[in-house]
């Protein structure tokens, strides 16, 4: 099957105001894909439009300022799709938040906030947009997961749980949609240089991620677009990310030992 071609298509990208979502929106527009760009910070979506250039942005960028956890934002996205032909070719569920710290020291609200943004919002947005994706005849749902949705680590229990949930749901949805010409692509980045660690939920200030290297958001966005174009079911990004995920698949007891050693046990 030929590569998926963004030119002339309509996409929704959530979390388009910074990091991976912003860069992916720019890259899609550069390939003549019209993007419905969703985020809470309107000034940042304005920056994105300025970066793209007013004339092109007026035509190709359709900003929606809203919170993906709010049903009325999801309704607004649906209305925008309807008013642009009623066919959606690409949905990128990218908006996400994290939290760092031991499970025992956190309360219920950290778990609920993270699950609302990272899992329930993309699931319900997808449910709402499925009729429009199915009418494309050649659509892609791209879910931005994480390597921590394949192998969980300490001090990120809520985040890992949300990304494992997204992973499991993506696998089930992919199988359900096989006959509908809707591809489901799960992209699992490792540590990415973005604003992600500035907005951690109910976490100690200065909390960081221990990982082997990091990629800039632009590189993750380019790898995401390549995965969409090649209709990949799943991609795990970066050497450190692959090491974590594939070592765990081959020998989970070794990974348990490594994590125990890092915890000084």
Nearest to ligand NAP of 37, 136 (CB atom): 37
Residue selected from 6, 96, 99, 101 as contacting ligand NAP according to rule CB under 6 A = 96
Under 8 Å between Cβ of 29 and 54: no
User: Which range, of 62-70, 80-88, 99-107, 123-131, touches ligand NAP by CB under 6 A?
Assistant: 62-70
Told to check if 196 binds ligand NAP by CB under 6 A, we report yes
Torsion of CA 115, 120, 125, 128, to 10 degrees: 180
Residue selected from 25, 191, 224, 238 as contacting ligand NAP according to rule CB under 6 A = 191
Is residue 132 annotated as part of the catalytic site, yes or no? Answer: no
Closest CA to 67 of 25, 97, 91: 97
Told to check if 21 binds ligand NAP by CB under 6 A, we report yes
Told to check if 157 binds ligand NAP by CB under 6 A, we report no
The secondary element (H helix, E strand) that includes residue 164 is: helix 157-176
Altogether, the residues listed in the chain come to a count of 265
Determine the Cα–Cα distance for residues 199 and 79; give it in Å rounded to an integer.
30
Q: Which position has the token pair 């999801």?
A: 74
Residue selected from 39, 57, 106, 201 as contacting ligand NAP according to rule CB under 6 A = 39
Determine the Cα–Cα distance for residues 35 and 41; give it in Å rounded to an integer.
17
The least distance separating ligand NAP from the CB of residue 44, rounded to whole angstroms, comes to: 5
Torsion of CA 225, 64, 93, 113, to 10 degrees: 140
Nearest to ligand NAP of 139, 166 (CB atom): 166
The least distance separating ligand NAP from the CB of residue 124, rounded to whole angstroms, comes to: 12
Tokens of 122: 């993309």
**Applying CB under 6 A, which residues contact ligand NAP?**
14-21, 39-41, 44, 67-69, 94-97, 117, 144, 146, 189, 191-192, 194-196, 199, 217
């Amino acid at each position: 099957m030929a590569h998926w071609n963004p030119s002339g298509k309509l996409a929704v990208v959530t979390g388009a105001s910074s990091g991976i979502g912003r860069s992916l929106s720019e890259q899609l527009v550069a390939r003549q894909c019209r993007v419905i760009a969703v985020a809470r910070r309107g000034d940042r979506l304005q920056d994105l439009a300025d970066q793209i250039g007013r004339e092109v942005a007026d035509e190709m960028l359709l900003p929606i300022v809203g919170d993906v956890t709010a049903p009325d934002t999801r309704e607004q996205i649906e209305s925008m799709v309807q008013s642009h032909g009623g066919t959606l070719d690409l949905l990128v569920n990218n908006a996400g938040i994290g939290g760092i710290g031991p499970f025992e020291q956190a309360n219920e609200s950290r778990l609920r906030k993270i699950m609302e943004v990272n899992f329930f919002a993309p699931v319900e947005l997808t449910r709402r947009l499925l009729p429009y994706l199915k009418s494309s005849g050649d659509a892609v749902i791209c879910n931005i997961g994480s390597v921590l949705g394949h192998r969980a680590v300490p001090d990120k229990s809520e985040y890992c749980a949300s990304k494992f949930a997204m992973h499991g749901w993506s696998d089930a949805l992919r199988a359900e949609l096989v006959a509908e010409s809707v591809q489901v692509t799960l992209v699992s980045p490792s540590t990415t240089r973005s604003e992600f660690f500035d907005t951690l939920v109910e976490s100690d200030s200065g909390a960081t991620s221990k990982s082997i290297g990091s990629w800039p958001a632009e590189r993750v966005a380019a790898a995401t677009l390549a995965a969409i174009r090649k209709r990949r079911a799943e991609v795990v990004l970066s050497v450190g990310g692959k090491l974590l995920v594939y070592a765990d698949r081959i020998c989970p007891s070794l990974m348990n030992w490594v994590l125990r050693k890092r915890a000084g046990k």
